[in-house]
């Protein structure tokens, strides 16, 4: 990697069908850069610990890894895309790093304490002191370890694998994060992958290290195992439905530390959390008013077939303020709105399944609260259910937060789908970083000097489908003081926003045409664009776009000129790399 010191744009070259190169302005000629070979690296923790051994047959040809529990039972088969993207994987045959080792009598004083995320108000609250409305006083919070929460000695990180029903929300407004946790957990291996580094040999007792995808790479977050509880010793925030299982609470703590405090997790977008947990490419689909149910169903089924985690919400931010206030006679419930149907507006749900049964298209959802369900057709105890359908769909009439509804009702009651895409084997990912600075922070195409924005050169050696993501600094992390904020970023937690960002992609021929004509490109000249222009962490193309062989210019921009900041461009491509 090299850096163009004139405008700070990172220059990256990769061999294969797709090349990316940074440039300081729209290029007249787009030539292929020199190639650098990038090799595959997979870190297998088992090689570092005498308690574990590698399964050679799982590594043969690097097409899949199998995760086994201590008894040799299959926990998960990890496909090739995991091998390409993920590090820190433990392949277990002997030993069990997912077991929380409880201290012997008299050893509690030797347990690890994380001074960077201390067990006091500094970890709880955004300003390190002031509790939010309705929260218990900080001086009444007890910080308990696993052996104190489970004095019988039966505390475990994971009990019988992970599933969406494990996840129960506490008094923290982190449903966006927990709905993502629930939907990823049901696909198996989330906690096994996230906590793989918990078994690092020589780590002190009471320490856990997890992996989160932040700022374009896997990052390690180390915590101690002290958890905030009320005066009675009950967990304040997220917990598992199984009282002796602690992975949900500990993962939420690591995520809170990554963003500066527990309070920083109040309110957010499920696709942000899905990306942070999986490293997948974020995609958000807006719909509403019934819309095209067939297209919505096709999208749901397509993502489900990919194995992509899916979340949904009725997003109030997608509505005019007056409509949000009056939506369906809803009444206020904190920051969310409870509708007559039993569903919450402004609340994130996990999509667990999409099934076509007896001529009906049905969607199964889960409320991370563990209660509060849909009251319409196909709800618990409704007339649509028969004994045969209950058995076929594995449904039980219980107030557990899980429910089914028909896709026509789903299309009416929700308006947003979220996912983190994992593209099929054979797709490649290329990334380049840069910044908007000085004259290079030139604003959107309507601005007079927009062509001075940094430009990324794409070269396709053959026709291919591409999916593009442009991201900026995580304003939630910036607001916590963990990164310097961009000048335009708001400074207040959940409302933290960077500038509105977008991008356009033009072919080489259209680059010349735009240069000759001046001004903004016409809509028909845009091969791809990131829409809508949003003040969010990431903006992506709304779907995969097929581009012909040739050279293209990708121009990331902020809405207003003068909004400086760093960005990353990711291009996912179906052509072989």
Which residues, at least 6 apart from 405, have a Cβ–Cβ distance to it below 8 Å?
362, 363, 365, 374, 376, 377, 378, 379, 413
Q: Please tell me the distance from the alpha carbon of residue 480 to that of residue 474, in angstroms, as a whole number.
A: 10
Give the tens place of pLDDT for each residue, 206-243. 888 888 998 888 888 999 999 999 999 999 999 999 99
Share above pLDDT 90 across residues of the chain, in percent, rounded to a whole number: 34
Q: Please tell me the distance from the alpha carbon of residue 402 to that of residue 387, in angstroms, as a whole number.
A: 18
Give the tens place of pLDDT for each residue, 120-179. 999 999 888 888 888 999 899 999 999 999 888 788 888 877 888 889 999 998 989 998
Distances from the Cα of 438 to the Cα of 19, 474, 487, 562, angstroms: 27, 21, 13, 7
Q: Please tell me the distance from the alpha carbon of residue 349 to that of residue 402, in angstroms, as a whole number.
A: 10
Whole-model pTM: value is 0.76
**Annotated active-site positions, please?**
175, 347, 367
Structure tokens at 254: 């690591």
Share above pLDDT 70 across residues of the chain, in percent, rounded to a whole number: 71
Structure tokens at 498: 């960077």
- Is pLDDT at 118 greater than 90 in this prediction? yes
Give the tens place of pLDDT for each residue, 54-94. 333 333 333 344 444 334 444 444 443 343 333 333 332 22
Q: Please tell me the distance from the alpha carbon of residue 459 to that of residue 463, in angstroms, as a whole number.
A: 10
Q: What value does the CA radius of gyration of the chain take, rounded to a whole number of Å? A: 24
Which residues, at least 6 apart from 528, have a Cβ–Cβ distance to it below 8 Å?
466, 468, 503, 504, 505, 541, 545, 547, 554
Give the tens place of pLDDT for each residue, 352-383. 889 999 899 999 998 887 888 999 999 999 99
């Amino acid at each position: 990697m090299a850096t163009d010191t004139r405008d700070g744009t990172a220059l990256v070259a990769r061999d294969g069908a797709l090349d990316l190169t940074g440039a300081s302005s729209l290029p007249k000629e787009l030539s292929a850069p020199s190639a650098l070979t990038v090799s595959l690296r997979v870190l297998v923790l088992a090689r570092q610990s005498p308690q574990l051994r590698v399964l050679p047959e799982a590594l043969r040809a690097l097409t899949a890894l199998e995760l086994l529990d201590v008894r040799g039972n299959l926990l998960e088969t990890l496909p090739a895309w995991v091998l390409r993207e993920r590090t820190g994987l433990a392949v277990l045959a002997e030993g069990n790093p997912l077991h929380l080792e409880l201290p012997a009598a008299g050893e509690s004083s030797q347990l690890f304490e994380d001074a960077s995320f201390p067990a006091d108000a500094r970890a709880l609250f955004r300003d390190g002191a002031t509790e939010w409305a309705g929260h218990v006083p900080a001086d009444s919070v007890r910080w308990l370890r696993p052996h104190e929460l489970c004095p019988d000695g039966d505390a475990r990180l994971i009990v019988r694998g992970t599933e969406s029903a494990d996840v129960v929300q506490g008094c923290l407004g982190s449903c966006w994060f927990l709905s993502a946790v629930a939907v990823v957990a049901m696909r198996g291996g989330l906690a096994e992958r996230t906590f793989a580094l918990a078994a690092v040999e020589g780590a002190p007792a009471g320490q856990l290290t997890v992996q989160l995808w932040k700022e374009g790479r896997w990052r390690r977050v180390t915590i101690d195992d002290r958890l905030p509880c009320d005066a009675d010793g009950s967990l304040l925030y997220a917990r598992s439905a199984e009282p002796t299982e602690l992975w949900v609470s500990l993962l939420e703590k690591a995520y809170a530390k990554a963003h500066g405090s527990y309070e920083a997790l109040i309110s957010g977008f499920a696709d942000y959390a899905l990306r942070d947990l999986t490293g997948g490419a974020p995609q958000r689909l807006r719909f509403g008013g019934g819309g095209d149910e067939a297209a919505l169903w096709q999208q749901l089924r397509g993502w489900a077939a990919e194995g992509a985690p899916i979340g949904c919400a009725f997003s109030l931010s997608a509505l005019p303020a007056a409509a949000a206030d009056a939506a369906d006679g809803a009444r206020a419930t904190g920051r969310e709105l409870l509708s007559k149907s039993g569903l919450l507006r402004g609340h994130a749900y996990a999509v667990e399944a999409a099934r076509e049964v007896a001529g009906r298209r049905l969607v199964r959802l889960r409320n991370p609260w563990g209660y509060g369900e849909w009251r319409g057709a196909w709800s618990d105890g409704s007339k649509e259910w028969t004994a045969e359908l209950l058995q076929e769909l594995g449904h039980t009439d219980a107030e557990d937060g899980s429910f089914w509804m028909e896709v026509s009702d789903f299309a009416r009651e929700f308006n947003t789908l979220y996912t983190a895409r994992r593209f099929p084997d054979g797709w490649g990912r290329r990334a380049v970083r840069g910044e908007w600075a000085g004259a290079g922070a030139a604003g959107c195409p309507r601005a007079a000097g927009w062509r001075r924005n940094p430009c990324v050169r794409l070269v396709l050696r053959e026709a291919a489908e591409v999916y593009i993501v442009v991201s900026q600094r995580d304003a939630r992390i910036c607001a916590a003081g963990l990164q310097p904020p961009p000048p335009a970023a708001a400074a207040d937690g959940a409302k933290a926003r960077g500038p509105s960002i977008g991008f356009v992609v033009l072919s080489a021929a259209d680059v010349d045409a735009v240069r000759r004509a001046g001004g903004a490109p016409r809509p028909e000249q845009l091969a791809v664009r990131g829409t809508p222009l949003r003040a969010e962490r990431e903006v992506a193309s709304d779907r995969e776009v097929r581009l012909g062989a040739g050279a293209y210019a990708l121009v990331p921009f902020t809405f207003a000129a003068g909004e400086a900041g760093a960005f990353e461009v990711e291009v996912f491509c179906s052509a072989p790399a």
